[in-house]
Chain A
Amino acid sequence: MKREVTITVNGVTHTRTVEPRLLLVHFLRDELGLTGTNIGCDSSQCGACTVHLDGQAVKSCTVLAVQADGCRVTTIEGLANGKLHPLQQAFWEKHGLQCGFCTPGMIMASADLLSRNPNPTEEEIRRGLEGNLCRCTGYQNIVAAVQAAAEMMKK
């Protein structure tokens, strides 16, 4: 039994007929071609698939597309607004990535964190990103990037 869903992704409204088992991450990647959102695990642990659903960070591998029907989704592709988002700028400047696979999820989770806590301590950043795994950086420069972005966003 397929269902019709209408989801507004990065400001554009899309209607598709999908199987209920289709995950939001596959809707984004396979139906819409938005491949910035990655899939890094099968166990809802890595956070590479993090997007915003009605403004909150979620793991899009653990949300069905039918659950997002009628909702707003923001992916990494929708974050820049003419110029790079401060988090994107800061990840670049602080070298907060190596292979870059975890980066879209890291940035989307960090954006959620900074929206709730514009002035996080290092400890709060590490805790805020505990649902995002990085196999390259050792997290040091990721934390530095989020701190730098928080500074930029105050200005």
Chain B
Amino acid sequence: MFAANFDYYRPATVAEAVQLLSTKENAKILAGGHSLIPAMKYRLAQPSALIDIGRIPELSGIRVEGGKLRIGAMTTHAAIAASADVKAHCPLLAEAADKIGDQMVRNRGTIGGAIVHADPAADYPPNLLALGGSVTAVGPNGSRTIDFAGFWTDLFTTALAPNEIVTEVTVNGYGKGTGGAYADLQHPASGYIVVGASAVVTVANGVCSKVSLVIGGATPNPVRASAAEAALTGKAPTAENIAAAAALAANGISNPIGDSFASGDYRVHLAKVLAKRALTQAAARAQ
């Protein structure tokens, strides 16, 4: 299948890419192309111009700074999954990256592209929201930081302005005393999640001092399970306490997505089951 015709630009710098994005009619950024090219082949997307940011050196790479990971937007899922720095400072993110698609998809797809695409069934968003951090975006008026909590705004929609480019993703790392886990049910054909639960739990003196739990796949954007977090915070990570908290994991979900494979009710049910698994594993890893 062929995409509709378009003009192709390959800027060497972020400034040049922003300039092109602002001046070319109906232009789109091309990163790894693993959401955009299939959409263009199906003619669900017909941009008039593609701005390929794949050859801008400063957009790739992973740095550790003050306990945070700073990941260039063009860093591939495979590079994140294999990174010793990510495995050491934020193993949950390496695990999430390694679950995406298959090896060939991970060799091309990028973290910037995945978060901007904002697929409700994508693996990064719930995990990034559970870990905490922010997105750096550059536009004609300079650079700004958008917290993950305000980044995903609707189905396939983000807070990014049409002329802004994501340059970096900053993710909070964690160390001893904290554990992270991601429990998901994958669609058997596509491999995308039906529902996924991401948990980050800190255990100190035998109690959960900090609990972060986010559900993806059930709604257009991932939602924080605040009631479940509050129920477990200050409690010992026992099976009963975790089960009681997980029972509240779908409280923040209204109008769940339903389709021929999984109804909204089933997704709500999955949210609770997967939350229990993720919290249990995260708490075990924290100790």
Q: Which residues of A contact B (CB under 8 A)?
A: 1, 3, 19-21, 23, 42-45, 47, 50, 53, 56-59, 62-64, 66-67, 69, 109, 112-113, 128, 130-132
* Cβ-defined contact, A21 with B2, below 8 A: yes
What residues of chain B lie closer than 8 Å to A59, measured between beta carbons?
104-105, 108
Determine whether B1 belongs to the interface, using a CB cutoff of 8 Å to chain A: yes
A42, A50, A57 interface centre (most CB from chain B within 10 Å): A57
User: CB-nearest residue of chain B relative to A57?
Assistant: B104
Determine whether B240 belongs to the interface, using a CB cutoff of 8 Å to chain A: no
* Cβ-defined contact, B105 with A20, below 8 A: no
Determine whether B156 belongs to the interface, using a CB cutoff of 8 Å to chain A: no
Cα–Cα, bound, A130→B101 (Å): 8
Given contacts A23-B2, A57-B104, 20 further A-B contacts (CB under 8 A): A1-B7, A1-B8, A3-B8, A20-B5, A21-B2, A21-B3, A21-B5, A42-B42, A44-B38, A44-B105, A58-B107, A58-B108, A62-B33, A62-B108, A63-B37, A64-B37, A66-B52, A67-B30, A109-B104, A132-B102
Interface size in chain B (residues, C-beta < 8 A)? 30
What residues of chain B lie closer than 8 Å to A64, measured between beta carbons?
8, 30, 33, 37
15 example contacts (A-B, Cβ-Cβ < 8 A) are as follows A19-B5, A21-B6, A21-B40, A44-B105, A47-B104, A50-B104, A58-B108, A59-B104, A62-B38, A63-B108, A66-B8, A67-B30, A113-B103, A131-B102, A131-B105
* Cβ-defined contact, A20 with B8, below 8 A: yes
Quick one: which of B65-124 are within 8 Å of A by CB? 78, 101-105, 107-108
* Cβ-defined contact, B103 with A109, below 8 A: yes
Cα–Cα, bound, A77→B280 (Å): 49
Determine whether B50 belongs to the interface, using a CB cutoff of 8 Å to chain A: yes
What residues of chain B lie closer than 8 Å to A45, measured between beta carbons?
190
Determine whether B252 belongs to the interface, using a CB cutoff of 8 Å to chain A: no
What residues of chain B lie closer than 8 Å to A47, measured between beta carbons?
102, 104
Determine whether B191 belongs to the interface, using a CB cutoff of 8 Å to chain A: yes
User: CB-nearest residue of chain B relative to A62?
Assistant: B37
Query: Given known contacts A1-B8, A42-B42, A67-B54, is B107 in contact with A56 (CB within 8 Å)?
Result: yes
Q: How far is the CB of A36 from chain B (nearest CB, A)?
A: 17
Determine whether B34 belongs to the interface, using a CB cutoff of 8 Å to chain A: yes
* Cβ-defined contact, A62 with B34, below 8 A: yes
What residues of chain B lie closer than 8 Å to A20, measured between beta carbons?
5-8, 50
Q: How far is the CB of A5 from chain B (nearest CB, A)?
A: 10
User: CB-nearest residue of chain B relative to A59?
Assistant: B104
Q: How far is the CB of B45 from chain A (nearest CB, A)?
A: 12
User: CB-nearest residue of chain A relative to B7?
Assistant: A1
* Cβ-defined contact, A42 with B41, below 8 A: yes
User: CB-nearest residue of chain B relative to A19?
Assistant: B5
Q: How far is the CB of A64 from chain B (nearest CB, A)?
A: 7
Determine whether B204 belongs to the interface, using a CB cutoff of 8 Å to chain A: no
* Cβ-defined contact, B104 with A131, below 8 A: yes
Cα–Cα, bound, A66→B37 (Å): 13
Cα–Cα, bound, A63→B8 (Å): 13
What residues of chain A lie closer than 8 Å to B40, measured between beta carbons?
21
